[in-house]
Chain A
Amino acid sequence: MKKRRLITRSIILVILLGALGYTLYSNFFMSKEKVKVGSAAPDFVLTDLEGKKHQFSDYRGKGVFLNFWGTWCKPCEREMPYIERQYQHYKNLGVEVLAVNVGESKLVVEKFAEKYGLNFPIVIDKNQQVLHAYDVDPLPTTFLIDKNGKVVKIITAPMTEREVRDYMEMIKP
C-alpha cells in the first residue's frame, strides 16, 4: 500500500517534470539550426562564375572552407583577401574554399572577384536554397567541413587572417 503510493506518486511526478524538462530543453538547448556541429553537411549543386557545376559531395576527402557572403557586407569584404592568401597555401594541402554568394547578380559578383583577385570557386545561390538548407542567418557565416563531410565548426563572426589560417589548419585532411 505504502509502496504502491510511492510508485504512483513517483510516476506522476516523473511524467509532469519530464514534460516540463522536455519543453525547456527543446526551447533552450536543442539547437534549431538545421546544420549542427558534428552533423553531415547537406549536399548541394551550384554553378560558379565560369559556368562550372560544383557538387558539394565531390569534395569528399578534402577539407572544405564553406563561406557564405554578399558584396554589400563589409566584414565579408574585409576577410576575402585573407581567405584568398591562405587558400593559395592550403589548396596544396587538401583544403578547398567554396564561396557561396547569397544570390546577387552575376555582374556584381564578377566585378567583386576581379577587384580582389579571387581565385577560389565562387558560386551564386540564386534562389537562396543552399542558404536555407544551411540555415544561414548573419553574413558572413563560415562552415568548416572535414574530409568526411562532417561539420567541424560554424563561424558566424568576421575572421582575422590568423583565424582563417587556424581554421584551415583544422580541416586539413
Chain B
Amino acid sequence: MNHVKCECGHVNPFGTVLCENCGRALAAEGEGNSEKLHDMRYDGSARRSQTYNKTIVDKVWNFFSSVKVGVWLIVITLIASAIGTIFPQELYIPSNVTPEQFYKDEYGILGQLYYQLGFHRLYGSWWYMTLIASIGISLVICSLDRVIPLYRALKNQGVSRHESFLKRQRLFSESYVDNIEKNVEQVKKNLTARRYRIREENGNILAEKNRFSRWGPYVNHIGLIIFLIGAMLRFFPGMYVDEVLWLREGETKEIPGTNGEYYLKHHQFILETYQKEKEKDVFQEAIDRVGDGSVAKNFQSNVTLYKKQGDSLPGEEPKLKEVKDFSIRVNEPLKFDSYAVYQVNYKLNELNKMTFDLIDKKSGKSFGKVVIDLLNPEKKYDLGNGYAVEIASYLPDFYFDDEGNPATRSRVPNNPAFVFKMIAPDRPKGETSFVAIQQTIEPNENNKYKMKFSGIETKNLTGLVVRKDLTLWVLGVGGAIFMIGLIQGLYWQHRRIWLKADNGKIMLAGHTNKNWFGLKNELDIILRDTEIQKPVDQKQLKE
C-alpha cells in the first residue's frame, strides 16, 4: 500500500493526517493549507476504515465503523423501545383473552395496529434483537478502528515536532528569552513537580501525563460488550431458569427447571397480618387507619427439599432423599445448587374435603358421615347396617355448559357438585340426588333420604418461582469494567506540552483531550519563575 513519506523522513501509513514523528501536516491538510489549528482527534492518525474500501468485508466493516451509523442505531433503538411502552406488552395482559381481542377492545384502532405490527412482543422480536446486536457490533468495530491507530500514533509520536505543528496547536506561545538553558531547566523542574513524564531530543521537550485516560472510552466499551454477551448468554441452554410452581399443602412435586433432580414438599402456608393488640403502641394509629388485620406482615411457606436418588422413569414413584427443611418468605428464598425458590403468590382456603350426613328427611336421623376428598373421591362409601353412598358423578368445578348440561370447568375443586346414589335397607336400588353448594336437586322429588352438608376442610396453596441465573457474574464484571472505563476517561485528562528552543526563541504548545481550563491553570504553575510567555488560546482568539 502507498505509504506517505514525510519531509522529516518518517514513513507514515496511508491516510495519516499529521506525521507521526514530527507532526507536519500531510496529504489533505497540506502545508499550504490556510487552516489555523490542527484537528487533533485521534492525533491525526490514519483511521484505516476511511481509506480502504475494496472487498465486501471492507464495506460491511466501514458501515459499522461509522459513528454516525452507531448513533442512528441507538436513536432507532430508543424510539422502538419507547413505542414498546405505549401499550402493555403481551406478557402483562390478562391471560383469559386473546391478544388480538385485547388490544382491539382496549385501545381501538391504534391497539389493533400495535398488535398487527408486532409491538406487543417488541423486546423479544428478531428485529429488536438485531438492533441491539448491531449496536454491539458497531461498538466493537468503531472502537477497534479508532483505538489501534490512536495507540500507534501516541506510541510512535516524535519528541521533536515541526514548527508548523506547534503553531497550529490551540495553546501556543513564542518567547524571546536571554538565557534559554536556565528557562528550560526551570520549566523541566516545574513539569517534574507536576508529575509529567519528560522526553528530550536535540533541545526539544515533550512532557506528557495521564495518557491512560485516552483508553477510558475503549475500556468502557469493553465493559458494555461483556454486558451484552452476558445478556446473550441467557439464551444458552442451562444458563437461565424462570419457572412457576404451585403447591397445595401436603403436596410434593418436581421442581421445574431442575431436570427432575429436585422435589419440593409443601407443609404449610402462613399469611400473617399486623394485629392491633400484638404490635407496639406506636403502630396502633397506623393499624387503626388501614383497619385491623388488613396489612400483611408475613407470607411464608414451610417446605422440605428433596433430591432424587438414582434413575426413575416419569410416572414412577421416585426415591427421594431429604436435603433440608426451610421456611420460604418474601425476600428469603430457598437456595440450593444455583437455584433459588421465591415466594411470589398464594391462594387461601381451596376446598379440600367435604363432609355430608346421610339423613332421613323426616326424622332428621343421621345414618353416618361421609368425608369426601375432593381431589380423590371414592366410588363408594359404606356406612354399615346396609347404608351406603355411591358417587355416580363428580364435577369439581361445576357450571352449566352451552347446552345446559352440568359440566366442569377444570379439575380444581372450586365449586364441587355430586350426583349421589343413597342406598338404604329400604331402598336397595338407591335414591338419586344432585348436590352442589347450597342446592339439592332431586329428580323425582320424593326421596326419603338426603345428603346433608355438614362441613368443609380447606387447604392453602403457595405460588413459588424457581430462578437460576448463571449470567449474573458476567453482567457484574461487564458493569464494573464499564464503570472503570468511565472513571478513567472522566477524571483524568491526557495532557501534553511541547517545548522547542531555537535561535534564542522558545516555542511552547499545549494539548489536552479535555478540560482546557485546567491545562491553562496548570501552565501558570509550570511557567512560574520563567520568562516564557503564557500560551494564548488560539481558538478563543479566533472567536
Contact B391 A16 (CB under 8 A): no
Number of A-B contacts (CB under 8 A): 110
Kindly list chain A residues whose C-beta atoms are within 8 Å of the C-beta of B407: 72
CB contact list, B336-391 vs A, under 8 A: 375-379, 391
Of A13, A70, A107, the most chain B CB neighbours within 10 A belong to: A107
Asked if A13 and B314 make an inter-chain contact with CB atoms under 8 angstroms apart, the answer reads no
What 0/1 pattern do residues 97 to 132 of A give for CB contact below 8 A with B?
A: 000001111111011000000000001010111101
Query: Given A5-B52, A71-B408, A129-B315, A26 and B236 touching (CB < 8 A)?
Result: yes
In the complex, what residues of A have CB within 8 A of residue B136's CB?
16, 20
Given contacts A24-B129, A72-B410, contact A44 B232 (CB under 8 A): no
Tell me which of B19-27, B56-64, B152-160 binds A.
B56-64
Q: Is A37 close to B, CB under 8 A?
A: no
* Cβ contact within 8 Å between A108 and B396: yes
Question: What's the Cα separation between A45 and B141 when bound, in Å?
Answer: 56
Chain B 118-140 residues near chain A, CB threshold 8 A: 124, 126, 129-130, 133-134, 136-137, 140
B256 in contact (CB, < 8 A):
yes
Given contacts A10-B57, A103-B411, A107-B377, contact A19 B232 (CB under 8 A): yes
B140 CB contacts on chain A under 8 angstroms: 12, 16
**Are A27 and B377 in contact, with the CB atoms below 8 A?**
no
The number of chain B residues touching the other chain, given as a range, is 35 or more
Q: Is A162 an interface residue (CB 8 A)?
A: no
A60 at the A/B interface (Cβ < 8 Å)?
no
Would A132 and B256 count as touching, CB distance under 8 A?
yes
Contact of B1 among A2, A28, A46 (CB under 8 A): A2
Determine chain B's interface SS by DSSP, over half rule: mixed
Inter-chain CA distance A152–B377, complex, in Å, is: 38
CA distance in complex: A72, B408 (Å)? 5
- CB nearest neighbor in B for A105: B376
Shortest beta-carbon distance, A95 to chain B, in Å? 22
Q: In the complex, which of the residues B124, B314, B410 contacts A129, with contact meaning CB atoms closer than 8 Å? A: B314
Q: Given A9-B57, A13-B57, A105-B376, verify A72-B411 contact (CB < 8 Å).
A: yes
Which residues of chain B have C-beta atoms less than 8 A from A1's C-beta?
1
**B55 contacts chain A at the CB level, 8 A cutoff:** yes
Interface centre among A9, A13, A24, A103 (most CB of B within 10 A): A9
Q: Interface residues of A, CB < 8 Å — how many?
A: 45
* A23 in contact (CB, < 8 A): yes
Instruction: Give 1 or 0 for each of B1-18: 1 = CB within 8 Å of chain A CB.
Output: 100000000000000000
Contact B129 A105 (CB under 8 A): no
Residues of B within 8 A of A125 (CB): 315
A169 at the interface (CB under 8 A from B): no
**Contact assessment for B55 and A107 in the assembled complex, using a CB-CB cutoff below 8 Å:** no
Q: Are A107 and B411 in contact (CB under 8 A)?
A: no
| Cβ 8 A contact of B126, one of A28, A111, A129, A132 | A28
A43 to B313, CA, bound (A): 7
| The one of B55, B253, B379 that contacts A127, using a Cβ cutoff of 8 Å | B253
CA–CA, A1 and B51, complex, Å: 14
Is there an interface contact between A17 and B137, defined as CB atoms closer than 8 Å?
A: yes
Check if B394 is an interface residue, CB within 8 A of chain A.
Answer: yes
CA distance A166 to B423 in the complex (A): 47
Docked complex Cα distance between A112 and B1 (Å): 84
Our pick among A28, A44, A71 for the contact of B314 (Cβ within 8 Å) is A44
Interface set, chain A 118-168, CB cutoff 8 A to B: 123, 125, 127-130, 132-133
Tell me which residues across on chain A come within 8 A of B260, comparing CB atoms.
129, 132
Write out the residue numbers on chain B whose beta carbons fall within 8 Å of the beta carbon of A108. 377, 394, 396, 411
Smallest beta-carbon distance B325→chain A, Å: 21
| A132 contact set on B, CB distance < 8 A | 254, 256, 260, 314
Report yes or no: B61 in contact with A130, Cβ–Cβ below 8 A.
Answer: no
Measured between beta carbons, the chain B residues less than 8 angstroms from A44 are 313-316
Complex Cα spacing A2 to B51, Å: 12
Q: When the two chains form their complex, are residues A23 and B313 in contact, meaning their CB atoms are under 8 A apart?
A: no
Give a binary string over A43-71; 1 marks a CB under 8 Å from any B CB, 0 the rest. Answer: 11110000000010000000000000011
**Can you list 18 pairs linking A and B with CB atoms under 8 Å apart?**
A2-B1, A2-B52, A13-B57, A16-B137, A16-B140, A16-B141, A19-B232, A20-B133, A20-B136, A22-B235, A24-B130, A44-B313, A103-B411, A104-B411, A106-B376, A107-B379, A107-B394, A132-B254
**Leading 4 A-B pairs by shortest Cβ distance:** A20-B133, A129-B314, A133-B314, A44-B314
Further pairs besides A12-B144, A19-B229: 19, Cβ < 8 Å:
A6-B55, A6-B58, A9-B61, A12-B140, A12-B141, A16-B133, A16-B140, A20-B133, A24-B130, A44-B315, A45-B315, A55-B313, A104-B411, A111-B393, A125-B315, A127-B253, A129-B314, A130-B315, A132-B254
